[in-house]
Amino acid sequence: MEKKTNFGVIGLGGRGCGNLREFLDIPGVRVAAVCDKYEDRAQQGVKIVEEKTGEAPEMYLDYKELLKREDIEAILCFTTWITHARIATDSMRAGKHVAIEVGGAASIEECWQMVRASEESGKFCMLLENCCYDRNEMALFHMVKQGMFGEVVHLEGGYRHDLREEITSGRENRHGRLFNFMHRNGELYPTHQLGPICKLIGVNRGNRMLTLCSMTSKSRGLNVYLRDTKGADYDITEYPFNQGDVTTTMIRCANGETITLHHDCSLPRPYSRNYVIEGTRGIFQENSHGGEYFLDTMGEKGREPQFYPFAEDIEKFEHPLWKKYQVDGVHGGHGGMDFLVMSAFVDSVVHHHQPPIDVYDTAAWMAVTCLSEQSAAMGGMPVPIPDFTNGMWIDREPYHRGIFCLEEVCMDYFEEEKQ
Amino acid sequence: MEKKTNFGVIGLGGRGCGNLREFLDIPGVRVAAVCDKYEDRAQQGVKIVEEKTGEAPEMYLDYKELLKREDIEAILCFTTWITHARIATDSMRAGKHVAIEVGGAASIEECWQMVRASEESGKFCMLLENCCYDRNEMALFHMVKQGMFGEVVHLEGGYRHDLREEITSGRENRHGRLFNFMHRNGELYPTHQLGPICKLIGVNRGNRMLTLCSMTSKSRGLNVYLRDTKGADYDITEYPFNQGDVTTTMIRCANGETITLHHDCSLPRPYSRNYVIEGTRGIFQENSHGGEYFLDTMGEKGREPQFYPFAEDIEKFEHPLWKKYQVDGVHGGHGGMDFLVMSAFVDSVVHHHQPPIDVYDTAAWMAVTCLSEQSAAMGGMPVPIPDFTNGMWIDREPYHRGIFCLEEVCMDYFEEEKQ
């Protein structure tokens, strides 16, 4: 019988349950324990595992109790944004690798705590940034690493998603976004596009983010929505939400790249991650049909450059991991990327190597949230982004050559496989 | 015979000659004098006027001589960016209304000089921001003023145009961009989208721009292009251009709107002004097919919002001026907007009323350039944007109800006409 590795899963709201279902499909995993502070959610987790595997996991309401289990090698944490860092730190201190759902940090100190816990325990912490494994993002990564865009100089991304219903129903559905929108004001959810961007330009490996400036718009969207849908008498209809409808953030990197991010979740709009890559030899920009691109090799003399649909050409640029994934069968939510990012975590746990997104990446990407709040509060003042590697970024090598690697050299894996 | 008004035209490079040709098609204008510091260009201006009207204008090499002409009522200035403000100031001081081609300011002081010259002379200064009169921009203006986007909270725009050939040929074609890219670093050309944006949200009339932050990327595009096209031995191939390839600027307004601008002219890319309007009831974003939009009235319950092609629906939202223009016959360059913006200027000169884009608009929009340079040089530090109205913006009424008006109330003009 196949040897299985024991995992514990903490946080079983909507997203946690969805992830748990997919996680159980990854070969070699056994969910030995589930935990949620709400008993009904924890029970739901037990039920999912039992239904899918025939074996009931232990149920916990206090994650610190779960962390005492010596048979558990690694933790997946799908709790609210502001509990990710502390659960990650506690997990590593308890001798377990940990993967956490995305979200921003509440303070720089909690980012340092994760870094110190990882360095001192030898355990790793991986942000489950699924968008790093999206088909588009990986094809673009592949193209950039092959030099097709030349030297990359500017990038844009965003989390532009009409979440008014989810946010305003935060008390009924126990979703943490509501309280964040009530009390905070900044780039609350930076990593969906920042993660892929950082991987593209080698952040923490020969590059790093140096400073950022943020500015936030007025806050109007949620109140208008509440008036329309819940009426004037609903108790939070006139709540003075702190979170501006749109937060803009500019980031400057050590190698001179700039990144523009937009956080935009409380206005009526179609979904977009607003990905833009601009280099000396080409451009990609997301649009509502997946994206469009132009490379200088596609230009004709005397003719204005024009965009070409990316979806029509993506097969030409497919990342080797996605070629393999399509043959094996694309699996699960968000177009398959959730399954891939959790598989990457399992691969690292099982093979005892560092994960493709490590604690330095996790800390740097998450830190953008609290830094953005501070910059915005100071009218857009530039604020320094800490170097969580303490200088190691300057000559840091890629970690490993595994199939889920997000570093340049990892293309070799597939080259070797071909031969 | 129709009474004609005498104009002088200064600056007859490529753009000046193109504008001159169209200007001569506007009823009631007579170009009595042309001027360029290069004699061949001035002669070219004479030739154009003579060919189109049968009457040769006086030719000048020194614009100050031209400004002495008492029979000339107004000036059009199509010179290099850094000479616009001083020629505008001198023109008003010489008792003439003036219109200037777009471009950014070199200093805040030269913006104040324009404002003071206008206030003291009673003459006006109008930035010829043609994009304010673009068909798309006017339809969107019309929609916003009808409340279709709800309350506008965030806007984006850009000047994203591959000008590598034009910039690097700056010495041969005597185009000023080259020297700007050599020596400056910031948002060099903000007004194409900022102008329409400011009109949309009532800047200088109940609103104003308060602060901005700018960040610039590394500069790589021009050197790569020069190596490719002119070779390693060309004298400026390795010139260390100051201008970063992409400048990002965030602006915050008194009424809480944020504006993101991108200046992006030295990388291979299709043209875009990158227009985005986001309000509490809808969104528009430019794309390579004109644009796409979503209004909350278009949503279906339980279905993710999606974008609809704007080009297919634009007739429903057509601005009254454009309805009339299409009946009368769309005329001239850049899809007809050049003709409209110059017609707006002529209309104000002939009818002795303030222009739709006045000296306060001109100063505020142009000021973004030098402020952006300073902010970028300080790492993105927020810098204050002067209030060129000295407080008048707080309760300033729209100027007039003419057909070219860019204010809210001017819709009345067309309403009355209908009856």
Q: Over chain A (419 residues), what is each successive 10-residue block's mean pLDDT?
A: 89 96 96 97 98 97 98 98 97 98 98 98 98 96 95 98 94 88 98 97 96 98 97 96 98 98 98 97 94 92 90 95 92 89 96 94 98 98 98 85 76 58
pTM of the model: 0.96
Confidence of residue B3 (pLDDT cuts 50, 70, 90): confident
> Which residues of chain A lie closer than 8 angstroms to B292, CB-CB?
288
Is the ipTM above a cut-off of 0.90? Answer: yes
Distance, CA of B131 to CA of B137 (rounded, Å): 7
Short-list A203, A214, A307, A304, CA closest to A256: A203
Distance, CA of A281 to CA of A153 (rounded, Å): 10
Give the strands of the sheet with A97-100, arranged side by side: A58-60, A29-35, A5-10, A74-77, A97-100, A125-127
**Among B287, B294, B295, beta carbon nearest to A287:** B287
Reported as a single tens digit per residue, the pLDDT across B288-324 is 899 999 999 998 877 889 999 999 999 999 999 999 9
**Among B215, B269, B270, beta carbon nearest to A258:** B215
Nearest Cα of chain A lies from the Cα of B193 at a distance, in angstroms, of: 17
Cross-chain residue pair A246–B278, CB shorter than 8 Å:
yes
> Which residues of chain B lie closer than 8 angstroms to A221, CB-CB?
153, 280
Does the structure show a pLDDT above 70 at B401?
A: no
**Among A267, A278, A380, beta carbon nearest to B211:** A380
Short-list A141, A149, A153, A156, CA closest to A296: A149
Distance, CA of B159 to CA of B261 (rounded, Å): 8
Cross-chain residue pair B151–A220, CB shorter than 8 Å:
yes
Nearest residue on chain B to A304, alpha-carbon basis: B270
Short-list A276, A83, A263, CA closest to B287: A276
Least confident of A213-227, B137-151, B397-411: B397-411
Cross-chain residue pair A288–B294, CB shorter than 8 Å:
no
Cα torsion B33, B39, B45, B46: sign: positive
Distance, CA of B377 to CA of A306 (rounded, Å): 33
Nearest Cα of chain A lies from the Cα of B75 at a distance, in angstroms, of: 33
Residues of chain B above pLDDT 70, percent: 96
Give the strands of the sheet with B258-264, arranged side by side: B308-309, B292-295, B282-285, B276-279, B152-160, B258-264, B246-253, B209-216, B383-384
Distance, CA of A201 to CA of A153 (rounded, Å): 9
Cross-chain residue pair B153–A288, CB shorter than 8 Å:
no
**Among B211, B269, B282, beta carbon nearest to A283:** B269
Cross-chain residue pair A154–B380, CB shorter than 8 Å:
no
> Which residues of chain A lie closer than 8 angstroms to B381, CB-CB?
381-382
Cross-chain residue pair B153–A267, CB shorter than 8 Å:
yes
Cross-chain residue pair A280–B213, CB shorter than 8 Å:
no
Q: Which of A218, A275, A385 to mutate to test the interface with B (most CBs of B within 10 A)?
A: A218
Give the strands of the sheet with B58-60, arranged side by side: B58-60, B29-35, B5-10, B74-77, B97-100, B125-127
Please report the pLDDT score of residue B419 as a whole number: 47
* Tokens, residue B399: 């100027």
Please report the pLDDT score of residue A333 as a whole number: 79
* Tokens, residue A405: 């690697």
Cross-chain residue pair B307–A288, CB shorter than 8 Å:
yes
pLDDT averaged over every residue in chain B? 94
**Among A215, A217, A270, beta carbon nearest to B307:** A270
Cross-chain residue pair A268–B282, CB shorter than 8 Å:
yes
Cross-chain residue pair B380–A151, CB shorter than 8 Å:
no
> Which residues of chain A lie closer than 8 angstroms to B376, CB-CB?
none
Distance, CA of A251 to CA of A365 (rounded, Å): 11
Nearest Cα of chain B lies from the Cα of A244 at a distance, in angstroms, of: 9
Does the structure show a pLDDT above 90 at B386?
A: yes
**Measured at the alpha carbon of residue B211, what is the angle toward residues B209 and B213, in degrees to the nearest 5?**
125
Cross-chain residue pair B267–A258, CB shorter than 8 Å:
no
Residues of chain B above pLDDT 90, percent: 88
Please report the pLDDT score of residue B176 as a whole number: 86
Cross-chain residue pair B257–A217, CB shorter than 8 Å:
yes
